[in-house]
Each structure stands twice: as C-alpha cells, then as structure tokens.
Amino acid sequence: MKGISLIAINHGTIITANGLIQDGVVLIENGLISDYGEASRIEVPGEAEIIDAGGAYIAPGFVDIHCHGGGGVWSWEQPHEFALAHLKHGTTAILPTFTYNESREQVRRGIRTIMETMDSQLPYVEVIAGIHMEGPYINKKYGAVTSPIRPVNPEEYHEIFQLAGERIKVWTLAPELDGQEAFIAEGARYNISFSVGHSEATAEQIFRYVPFGLRIGCHCTNASGTTPSPSRYGGTREVGVDEAVLVHDDIFAEVIPDREGIHVRPLMLKLIYKTKGADRVIIITDAMPSAGEDNGDVSDVNWNHLGQLAGSRLTMDEAVRNMMRHASVGWVEVFRMASLNPAKVIQLDHRIGSIEKGKLANLVIVDEEVNVKKVMLSGRIVHETNESSTR
Ligand SMILES: [Zn+2]
C-alpha cells in the first residue's frame, strides 16, 4: 500500500446530486473520491487518515463560472490572489471573467496573465478552470455608456482564439449584432459555451445559436433586455431574452442571489427556479474585487460611480445561503445549481461538480447556515475555520 494516500471523512451528512446521506463517510484515495455512503456500509481502512466533519454537511466545492474579482483584485490582473480569495469561501473551480470594459490590449494582456498563472507551480492554481469573456460584443444599450464595447471584430476574436483556444469556457454575447454567426460558428470549434447577455435578441435569434453551443442565459433578468413598451398589442406583455432563456430546455439560467434581492427579487428567483428546475439554474456571484474582503455588514451588491448596479460582492457560500432563503431551495438542489450544473456547462463534470466515485475530492464542509468549515482540493485541506465545528 506504499505511496497511496487514503483519507476518510466521517461524521457528516453527504450531499450527493440525488440525495442526502446521513452519518456518511467519504473515502479519498490519491485525491479522488473512491467510495462514499452510510458509515455502516463503508469500511474505513486502518491506515486511513480521519477527518471529522463534526456533524456538518460534506458537499462538492462550488464552481463559479461568472466572477470578475475578489480579495481586492481583478481576476485577469492577479488571477492567483483572486482564486485564493474565493477558495476560502468554498469555490474550488472558478472562471476569471473579463468585463466589457477592457480594451483589446487589456484583454490580450489579461489572457496571457491568466494562462501563465494556470501553467505555473503556484499553490492551488488548479482552481482556475478557464476563462469567461463577458463581451466585448454586447449590445451598447445594456452596458455602461463609457465602456469600449465594440462591433464584432474577426481580427480580434481570431487573435483571442489563437491565444487561449479551449481555455475559453464561456463567451457572453448579444446574438443580434452583425457578424455573430461567423463568430459563433468558429467558437464552436473550441467547445466554448456561449451565453446570451446584455442583449435584446429575439427568441428566434437565440434559439438559432443553440446548436452551435449557446447554452447559458447570462445573469437572468439582469441587463437581459427589457420588455418593449408599449407592446404591439396594448395591455399585453412582449417576450424577450429572459422568456426565451426560461423556455428553452437546453439553456441554463445564471442567477445572482444577493442578500437583499436586488439583482433578482425573491419572487423572481422563485419564478426562475420553478420554470427552469434544479437542473437548469446556475448560481453565480458576478463578483467585483471587493468580494471576499471583510466588508463588515455592508450590502453584498456593488454600485458603480454613476449609481448603477454593477455586479456584487458575493462569494458562493453567501449566494447559496441567499438562494436557499429566497427561493426555499433544499440542500441537494442548491448544490446542483452551485456545483454540478456549472461544471456541466463548462464540460468538466466528469472531474468535478458532485460527490461521485472517480471525481476529484474537491469538497466543502459547511454547517446548517452554509458557513464554510473546511475546504478541500484533491483531498487536501486547503482552508479551515478556527472555531470548533458544529455538533
Ligand atoms: Zn458580469
């Protein structure tokens, strides 16, 4: 048995994608989940190192596919610091996400920085799972007036594909812009999941791109078009991007569940959850650099200098807590939305996103209030809180 590392986590409730296992044990062999189940069924080898979950929940680490910053830094400027700030809150896979405010030169430099970090030997860089481009080819009406939003430019996107290729996991765009068809067709070759956002595309325009990999509705009900008013027929309601996203079974809906229900009102969260179901909602933070810093008890949303809503200060643990509270979502369902669904949409669910045999032991141990007690990457504890655990 030499050279094999064996770890057993016991005294916890395991959250699987299909149910809870009370008094569960998770066995980890060389960083991978080798077995899990009720304590009475799992035989713990004598040489295994024991980690006591202290009666808390043992769950898959969070996967955040839409996150701009954290720990005081922008994700493309200091990706390592950014990833560590979110790791402490249980996010074990993250996509550094560009905004539509970066110039072509800033994007180029940022991509190089992210890729150098991913290829480095820095501790825990494996948390960085790829890149999300939120723009720049979005509809000007749904972005800040001053930002360098630009027309679809083949020369620019060729350069980005050359540079990053399959490391780009998500690309948010407005389907109604000229030139998107050629762009999406080319992006499909890199397995990119496209996201409709900052857009007022029609349902037909959106659905046409689903076969090319349009799989996400970017922060549903935020900057996702407005119902044209007055509508074609007085006293009726037009349909827009959100309705198209809610209706199509192959499109996931991202949501930002902040504490005060500002990005998405609690009733709207319930509506999205009810319509899409636990398999098609993805919880994101859309976080800015101030996320993950000790803000005291200030609001978890972020406003720009013009007083407009501009992302959040959320970390995934808090977003999950808010989702459970606002939309009465249970443990199993909330972890599908915060771990498995995002892992699926970036096609990494064969490695991460749920507690299953053969997947990486990227885990988070949380108490009843979703306070993070321990964070594990490939079976190693990378963060734990000091206070004694709940029991
Ligand atoms: Zn964003």
- CA of 150: how far to CAs of 101, 144, 219, in Å? 10, 12, 21
Q: Name 20's bridge partners.
A: 15
What average pLDDT does this structure show over 197-221? Answer: 96
Contacts 24+ apart (CB under 8 A), 270-276: 270/326, 270/327, 270/328, 272/220, 272/221, 272/246, 273/327, 273/329, 275/246, 276/246, 276/252
Q: Given this model, what pLDDT does residue 224 score?
A: 81
The gap from C-alpha 118 to its chain's centroid, in whole angstroms, comes to 18
Please check if 311 is assigned to a binding site.
Answer: yes
What is the pLDDT, as a whole number, of residue 234?
Answer: 79
**Span from the CA of 139 to the centroid of ligand 1 (angstroms):** 14
**Rounded distance from Cα 311 to ligand 1 centre (Å):** 6
* Average pLDDT of the chain, as a whole number: 93
Confidence of residue 227 (pLDDT cuts 50, 70, 90): low
Predicted confidence (pLDDT) per residue in 345-375, tens digit: 999 999 999 999 999 999 999 999 999 999 9
State the fold for domain 62-345: TIM Barrel (3.20.20)
Q: Which two tokens stand for residue 132?
A: 């999300």
Candidate list 64, 286, 300, 317, residue with the active-site label: 286
Q: Which pLDDT does position 391 carry in this prediction?
A: 36
**Position 141 confidence tier, pLDDT thresholds 50, 70, 90:** confident
Say whether the peptide bond before residue 60 is cis (omega within 30 degrees of 0): no
> Which stretch of DSSP H or E encloses residue 124?
none
CB of 364 closer than 8 Å to CB of 320: no
Confidence of residue 229 (pLDDT cuts 50, 70, 90): low
In 3D space, the residue among 290, 205, 198 whose CA is nearest the CA of residue 248 turns out to be 205
152 is in an annotated binding site: yes
Residue 12 one-letter amino acid: G
Q: How confident is the model at residue 187 (pLDDT cuts 50, 70, 90)?
A: very high
Instruction: Look at residue 280 and tell me whether its pLDDT is greater than 60.
Output: yes
Does residue 309 have a known ligand-binding role?
Answer: yes
To the question of whether residue 223 is assigned a binding role by annotation, the answer is yes
Q: What is the distance in A from the centroid of ligand 1 to the CA of 384? A: 29
pLDDT band, very low/low/confident/very high, at 389 (cuts 50, 70, 90): very low
Residue 261: burial class (beta carbons within 10 Å; 0-12, 13-18, 19+): middle
> CA separation (Å) from 124 to 83, 150, 377, 380?
8, 35, 8, 10
Strand partners, 51: 9
What is the pLDDT averaged over residues 265-291? 97
Q: How far is CA 331 from CA 101, 186, 256, 278, 323, in A?
A: 36, 39, 18, 11, 10
Please indicate if the annotation marks 362 as binding a ligand. Answer: no
Structure confidence at residue 237 (pLDDT):
81
Q: Given a cut of 90, is residue 29 above it in pLDDT?
A: yes
Q: How far apart are the CA of 66 and the centre of ligand 1, in A?
A: 6
Per-residue pLDDT band for 232 (boundaries 50, 70, 90) equals: confident
What is the domain partition of the chain in residue ranges?
6-59+356-384, 62-345
Is 198 marked as a binding-site residue? yes
Reported as a pLDDT band with limits 50, 70 and 90, residue 1 is: very low
SS3 of residue 215 by DSSP: strand
Residue 302 pLDDT exceeds 90: no
**Stretch 12-41: mean pLDDT:** 98
Number of Cβ atoms within 10 Å of the Cβ of 49: 11
- As residues whose CB is below 5 A from the ion ligand 1, the structure lists 134, 286
> What is the average pLDDT across 6-28?
98
How many C-beta atoms lie closer than 10 Å to residue 369's C-beta?
A: 9
250 catalytically annotated:
no
Task: Calculate mean pLDDT across residues 162-174.
Answer: 97
6-59+356-384 under CATH 3.40.50.10860, yes or no: no
Across residues 366-389, what is the average pLDDT? 90
- Picking from 201, 221, 223, the residue whose alpha carbon sits closest to that of residue 143 is 223
Report the SS3 class of residue 310: strand
Q: How far lies 305's CA from each of 279, 295, 308, 309, in Å?
A: 37, 19, 7, 10
Rounded distance from Cα 365 to ligand 1 centre (Å): 27
β-strands 20-29, 6-15 pairing: antiparallel
Question: Does the structure show a pLDDT above 70 at 387?
Answer: no
C-alpha 134 to ligand 1 mean position (Å) = 6
